[in-house]
Amino acid sequence: MRITATARRVRRALATFAATAALVGAGTVVGASSASAATTWQAMDKVCTSYTDLDGVTSMGQICAEVQKRVTDTGSVTGWRGRVILSPVGGYGMKPTTYHWYTGSPLAQVCTGGCGMKTTAWTSGWSSVQTLGSGPYKVQGEFSNGSSWDLHASWGAWQTAAEKCATYAVGKVCVRYQVRHYRETPQERSLLNYTPAGGGHIIPQSIKVGSVIDGVSTSKTLGLCDPSCTKRTKSYSATVARTTPNPAGTNEYYASGTFKRPNGATSTLKAAITG
């Protein structure tokens, strides 16, 4: 399958997250200068998967990937760390090998010099602290039967890949196409943002996130007039998200928003990556 430059840009955007991006649901990422504030490690995400042998029936046990976030006394997030928890059964062995973060960081060994095969319950030490921005933690390894495994935990901050803004007498409206990874799943969303000016208002109608891949269009739309269209006189934002379709040949990924202005005119803004 031919992969265009656009597809490569989308993949890079989904795999790389800004160093100062806000971690969704976890506070605000700050620079290293705030690391001197009192901090605590708090639970963020834990994903556990049970595995069977090649016969699809015989249990080999369970593996968990766990991520914690480092939070200051003011609620800011300054880092993340991950570990793997092995629970083999029935004489099977599990050996973790490497891990990495979806922030452009390189692969690192779970155990310095390499881990041995584990046949009893075992928990790794915590990884080195990740401070380059949020992103999923991926750990991988092998089973004693020769098969391999990998697990993802946590999620990345939404990163803006395309933006379209317009300024009117009633204020500024922006639509952003944003991407992230949620565990191992790439996601995309449309973000509509309105900043009022001069006592004006807009009436949001809908937002959409979509794509056109090799001529096939798919999208997800959120109506903003349920139960009724609301006049927005204060700062306002809305989002709609979905799992990102796989990049293919000729493609476009976009976000759009439609709204009415006080003069009754309907406007649509669209932010897109095309190729």
The residue whose two tokens read 């922006």 is: 174
Per-residue tokens: 183: 């565990």
Q: Can you give the pLDDT at residue 123?
A: 98
Q: How many CB atoms are located within 10 Å of the residue 68 CB?
A: 21
Q: What is the pTM of this model?
A: 0.76
Query: Across the beta sheet with 122-123, what order do the strands follow?
Result: 39-52, 59-72, 77-88, 122-123
> What parts of the chain have a pLDDT lower than 70?
1-37, 248
Angstrom distances, CA of residue 135 to CA of 94, 99, 226 = 25, 13, 34
The torsion region of residue 183 among left (phi > 0), alpha (psi -120 to 50) and beta comes to left
> Using CA atoms, how far apart are residues 133 and 261, in angstroms rounded to an integer?
37
Q: Can you give the pLDDT at residue 247?
A: 73
Task: Read off the pLDDT of residues 180-222 as tens digits, 9 standing for 90 and up.
Answer: 999 999 999 999 999 999 999 999 999 999 999 988 999 999 9
Task: Kindly state the helix (H) or strand (E) to which residue 14 belongs, with its residue range.
Answer: helix 5-15
Q: Can you give the pLDDT at residue 194?
A: 98
Torsion of CA 153, 154, 157, 158, to 10 degrees: 60
Name 35's Cβ contacts closer than 8 Å, sequence gap at least 6. Answer: 78, 79
Instruction: Sort 63 into a burial class: Cβ within 10 Å, 0-12 / 13-18 / 19+.
Output: buried
Task: Kindly state the helix (H) or strand (E) to which residue 66 belongs, with its residue range.
Answer: strand 59-72
Q: How many CB atoms are located within 10 Å of the residue 25 CB?
A: 7
